[in-house]
């Protein structure tokens, strides 16, 4: 098996910011509540005409600029998203066209907030087995397009954005372990309603009502903490790395209190966790890769460091990887 690593990262966040104070004007909430309960200060809102594929393309081009590869060299493209431009064609194929990656095969992966690690782990297998030489893994979501802006339980939490990485063979380090786990028994804890699958004919469905996110926040919180703590623990064991040798943990950014509880439960100092939820809120699949990109940009992660990546999302889906940083 070929050793596979992340060789470049990129990101794109729409420039328009929405602060907690802006939200105070549209729902019964406060900056104080949002900060205390989630750690979020502001989030990014995509422009009306900006599609998920546009966000994915910008993140992908940023990652390619940071790599030694050109779009024509890319052999596989995976896009993790739950807010594609439309059911099909896939966002991955739209990215392929936009960047001119003519040699690649391309498809989307749906694993909600865990999407990036599901896509990265999938891409890794293709390279490890020699089927392709490299892959572009992108996560992009526009959760603000599926939010009920009258529901304070959800509308304060999410934002838009994208991140990407280039995966390729590495001589040393790379992705040391993978752990993916799903629990469809808890699928009802978060999703989009009304369920479009019930059409073409169901008079009880109000066709004019747009689908929006419903979430049982408290139950998800209770599942996320042990789920993420266990995932990072198992991934570390699979990598043969004691948890105290992990220099930095980059978690899914859903709630600062979830991250604190995961740190406590896993027995890892919270100072080791990279957190940027204050700036972007929860950007679904893109959260972990945008945070990873910023952790590398700011020097929190350096060559040789052992890094834990850990995510959790609707499905339920959780994942963790241990990576030895290669550049
Ligand atoms: O990333 C994918 C998966 N999603 C998650 O992981 C989310 C996990 N869950 C959470 O992060 C938290 O459960 C939330 C941030 C969603 C909610 O925090 P909480 O501490 O669990 O609050 P709660 O739902 O227990 O609500 C406490 C109170 C309620 O009022 P009462 O009934 O005590 O009077 C809510 O109505 O806070 C109220 N509340 C708000 N107040 C002001 C709920 N949302 C808001 C709000 N502003 N935006």
Tell the residue nearest (CA) to atom 38 of ligand 1. Answer: 153
In our burial notation (b when 16+ CB lie closer than 10 A, e otherwise), range 271-301 reads ebbbbbbebbbbbbbbbbbbbbbbbbeeebb
Judge if 195 and 118 occupy the same domain. Answer: no
CA distances from 19 to 44, 167, 261, 279 (A): 9, 35, 25, 9
Is there a single domain that holds both residue 139 and residue 244? no
Asked if residue 135 and residue 21 are part of one domain, the reply reads yes
Residue 252 annotated as catalytic: yes
Q: What is the DSSP string of 75-137?
A: -EEEEE-SS-SSSSS-HHHHHHHHHT-TT-EEEEE--GGGHHHHHHHHHHHHHHTTS-S-EEE
161 and 137 together in one domain: yes
pLDDT for 210 equals 73
Q: For residue 10, what is the domain's CATH number?
A: 3.40.47.10
Asked if residue 319 and residue 241 are part of one domain, the reply reads yes
**Residue 192 sits in the same domain as residue 245:** yes
Q: What is the predicted pLDDT for the residue at 272?
A: 98
The boundaries of the domain holding residue 103 are 4-172
Residue nearest atom 21 in ligand 1 by C-alpha distance: 218
Which of 66, 255, 276, 282 is catalytic? The answer is 282
Tens digits of per-residue pLDDT, 74-129? 999 999 999 999 999 999 999 999 999 999 999 999 999 999 999 999 999 999 99
Query: Are 189 and 51 contained in the same domain?
Result: no
* Domains held by the chain: number: 2
Q: Cis ω on the peptide bond leading into residue 316 (within 30° of 0)?
A: yes
User: What are the residues facing 77 on neighbouring strands?
Assistant: 106, 136
Q: Which of 172, 192, 221 is the last residue of a domain?
A: 172
Residue pLDDT, tens place only, 136-164: 999 999 999 999 898 999 999 999 999 99
pLDDT < 70: residue spans in the chain:
194-209
- Which of 93, 113, 165, 293 is labelled catalytic? 113
Q: Are residues 208 and 149 in the same domain?
A: no
- Catalytic annotation present for 282: yes
- If asked whether residues 188 and 148 sit together in one domain, one would say no
Q: How far apart (Å, rounded) are the C-alpha atoms in residues 155 and 20?
A: 11
Q: Are residues 153 and 182 in the same domain?
A: no
Distance from Cα 188 to the centre of ligand 1, integer Å:
17
Answer yes or no: are the C-beta atoms of 7 and 164 closer than 8 Å: no
Distance from the alpha carbon of residue 153 to the mean position of ligand 1, in angstroms = 6
């Amino acid at each position: 098996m070929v050793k596979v690593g992340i060789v470049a990262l990129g990101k794109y966040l729409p420039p328009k910011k929405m602060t907690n104070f802006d939200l105070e004007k549209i729902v019964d909430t406060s900056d104080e509540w949002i900060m205390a309960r989630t750690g979020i200060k502001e989030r990014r809102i995509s422009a009306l005409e900006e599609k998920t594929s546009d966000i994915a393309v910008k993140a992908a081009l940023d990652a390619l600029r940071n790599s030694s590869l050109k779009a024509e060299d890319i052999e596989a493209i995976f896009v993790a998203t739950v807010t594609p431009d439309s059911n099909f064609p896939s966002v991955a194929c739209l990215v392929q066209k936009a960047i001119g990656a003519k040699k690649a095969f391309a498809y989307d992966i749906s694993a909600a907030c865990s999407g990036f690690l599901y896509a990265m782990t999938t891409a890794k297998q293709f390279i490890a087995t020699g089927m392709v030489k490299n892959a572009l893994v992108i996560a992009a979501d526009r959760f603000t397009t599926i939010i009920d802006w009258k529901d304070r339980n959800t509308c304060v939490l999410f934002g838009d954005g994208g991140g990407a990485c280039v995966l390729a063979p590495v001589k040393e380090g790379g992705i040391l372990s993978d752990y993916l786990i799903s629990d469809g028994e808890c699928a009802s804890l978060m999703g989009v309603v009304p369920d479009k699958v019930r059409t073409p004919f169901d008079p009880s469905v109000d066709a004019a009502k747009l689908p929006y996110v419903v979430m049982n926040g408290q139950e998800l919180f209770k599942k996320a903490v042990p789920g993420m703590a266990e995932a990072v623990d198992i991934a570390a064991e699979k990598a043969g790395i004691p948890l105290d040798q992990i220099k930095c943990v980059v978690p899914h950014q859903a709630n600062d209190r979830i991250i604190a509880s995961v740190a406590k439960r896993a027995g890892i100092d919270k100072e080791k966790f990279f957190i940027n939820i204050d700036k972007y809120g929860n950007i679904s699949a893109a959260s972990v890769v945008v945070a990873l990109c910023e952790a590398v940009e700011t020097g929190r992660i350096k060559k040789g460091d052992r890094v834990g990546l850990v995510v959790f999302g609707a499905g339920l889906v959780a994942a963790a990887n241990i990576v030895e940083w290669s550049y």
